[in-house]
Amino acid sequence: MLQQHLQQKNKSVKELIKSKVSLAPMAGITDYVLRSMVRRYSKDALLTTEMISSEFLAQVKESDITKTDENHHPINFQISGHKPHLMKAAAEYLTQKADMIDINMGCPVNKVVKGQDGCALMRNPSLAAELVQAVKEGTDKPVSVKFRLGYTFDELNYVEFGQQMQEAGAEFITIHGRTRSQFYADKADWGKIRDLKRNVDIPVFANGDIVSIETAEQCINESEADGVAIGR
């Protein structure tokens, strides 16, 4: 089992997303039990943990959120924060467990964005780029980002933002086809995800309103994405 993990740890993004499906991170939902259940029925899907605060990790380290088994691989650990040194430290700690490390830049929850985390980072692309660079310094695993179309409809900066994250070193993008102001209302705009896909050179997974095999196929056709992240 240890040898299997050692073989996993240096896999490329292409190998990690070969199933074209990932489990989207959901607070209080994508825990150890759910990840174990998903893995029982899918040996290749990229699992993702709940969002883990880099500030929390700096104080507590081990928690139920970071619990994992060898059979959970491939697995992406998602971290949040806005302080580069803490994000780097979180990446250093999680490297021993993760196949990929994701930075949350899309959470719309008030208490998250008020702390300058989550989707608030889409209003501060320079800081977001610093975070990508800091996490890259802390790990030898692929680094990904998850974000939205923008903070509001007047701030649809997803294409430019994605390009800046790629330039900073991100190797994989998951994008939710809504703005922060929409939360989970209205329909996810898969067409806009296509705009992003056509303007970056790294893999893009689409997220939002994927509830069946049929909607997954429709989303991939409309978005031209490399795969889908399945959430609520």
pLDDT digits (tens, 9 = 90+) for 208-227: 999 999 999 999 999 999 99
pLDDT in tens, 155-188: 999 999 999 999 999 999 999 999 999 999 999 9
Residue 167, pLDDT score: 98
pLDDT in tens, 40-61: 999 999 999 999 999 988 887 6
Q: What is the mean pLDDT of residues 10-21?
A: 94
Q: How far apart are CA 39 and CA 137, in angstroms?
A: 30
Contact 87, 54 (CB under 8 A): yes
Catalytic residue among 45, 75, 107, 134: 107
Q: Is 107 a catalytic residue?
A: yes
Tell the residue number behind the tokens 């607070």, with chain if given: 27
Mean pLDDT of the chain: 93
Confidence of residue 8 (pLDDT cuts 50, 70, 90): very low
Residue 65, pLDDT score: 84
Q: What is the mean pLDDT of residues 9-24?
A: 91
Name the β-bridge partners of 204: 173
Residues 6+ apart with CB under 8 A from 126: none
The answer, yes or no, to whether residue 9 has pLDDT greater than 60, is no
What is the pTM (predicted TM-score) of this model? 0.93
Name the β-bridge partners of 53: 80
Residue 140, pLDDT score: 96
Q: How far apart are CA 80 and CA 86, in angstroms?
A: 10
